Structure 1
Amino acid sequence: MNLANRITIARIFLIPVIMFFLLVRIDLSSLVFFGYSITWNQVIATLVFILAASTDKLDGYIARSRKLVTNLGKLLDPLADKLLIAAVLISLVEMDKLDALIAIVIISREFAVTGLRQIALLEGKVMAADRLGKWKTGVQITAIIALLVNNFPFYFIDFRFDLVASWAAAIITVYSGIVYFVKNKELLDPNREKQSRSAGPQT
């Protein structure tokens, strides 16, 4: 396994660390100033989340610069992103910081695209993340960070950036999912498998 794939796997192993600090009750003090408050649990979870999210760019850069791009990496990279995002979204819903509807919409899209990737894999095709998918991930990460830090620094100007970013993430997530399915609609053609069987083995 090459370095890029190891970094991707490391991102997956950081997920339970984030969930631990978000969901396990630890008696840590809070930071309070000018009416704004945030627990040390959230601070630690946010820093670990940022570290995990940043490895997405790192493993991609290493894979391209060192010519280490593999089919395993193309599958692991988006999978790690989806696991990271889904786990934190579920944690935020549990913490009453995120509307469950937004989490359901985003996670459902991720499961749907993952299913499509599996169909593509059976066809011998690897669906690498496209530019729109990267933008989608970026907006999701921005929204999650805003929620994790209790809307800092927009709290001080009474602007719900975290709420706006959350809905923006849901919208672009749905849109990018639709684009994925439209671009790969041939994989869902019910006649595709019949045609493949009728063609039989080629010699």
Structure 2
Amino acid sequence: MNLPNQLTLARIILIPIFMAFLLLQFPKGQPIFPYQDLVAAVIFILAATTDGLDGYIARKRGQVTVLGKFLDPLADKLLVSAALIALVELGDVPAWVCWIILAREFAVTGLRAIASADGTVIAASKLGKIKTVSQVLAISLLLLHDWPLSLLNIYLGQPLLYLALFFTIISGVDYLVKSKKFLKK
């Protein structure tokens, strides 16, 4: 297994570790580990960083594989979905925002599957990449409770979450328009 695929697999393996640090508590809501929310945030950021890194290495070394094309978007969706669902449970993300983001991910995955069955690859668009970056930034800030910006009374996690939601919807519509010819068949 090449390095890019190992990084992608590592991202998937980090998800339950991230979730454990973020959500495990003693009864009455006391954390089990000191700074466990900070550790969870660092794990999320580290895992999210591997997303760009694995693709860059795969293209640079000519190591793009079918397995990588399958695992990379799956790992991204699993990581973001896990974080959003956990943040809903913690009361930091409204459930309706999480639902819209997850619905878009399912819809785009379905559209890509339909196109693939027709022999066409719908590559990630610039809007899709902006969507992913904005989601990761929003989730990271929410996990960090807007630190270090909160020291200056600047709170960007929630506004950035709604910006990510905007790009999620816009990029979903963009994929739908690009897939129009496959949906007519």
Give the TM-score normalised by structure 2.
0.91
Partner of 2:18: 18
Query: What is the CA distance between 1:107 and its match in structure 2?
Result: 1.0
Matched letter for residue 96 of structure 2: L
Is the aligned partner of 1:89 residue 2:94? no
Question: Structure 2 unaligned runs (5+)?
Answer: 26-30
Partner of 2:137: 142
Please give the root-mean-square deviation of Cα atoms over the aligned residues, in Å.
Answer: 1.4
Is the aligned partner of 1:73 residue 2:68? yes
Query: What is the CA distance between 1:131 and its match in structure 2?
Result: 2.1
Distance 2:70 2:11 in 1: 14
Matched letter for residue 87 of structure 1: A
Distance 1:45 1:74 in 2: 27
1:2-23 C-alpha deviation (Å, 9 max, x unpaired): 3212221221111111111111
Partner of 1:160: 155
Partner of 2:9: 9
Larger radius of gyration: 1
1:154-193 C-alpha deviation (Å, 9 max, x unpaired): 323333311100100100011011101111211111xx2x
Structure 1 residues 28 and 9: alpha-carbon distance in aligned structure 2, compared to 1, 3 A threshold: closer
In the comparison of the two structures, how many residue pairs are matched?
A: 180
Whether the aligned pair in 1 keeps the contact of 2:19 and 2:82 (CA below 8 Å) is yes
Distance 2:155 2:140 in 1: 13
Whether the aligned pair in 1 keeps the contact of 2:115 and 2:182 (CA below 8 Å) is yes
Partner of 2:32: 27
Partner of 1:103: 98
Give the TM-score normalised by structure 1.
0.83
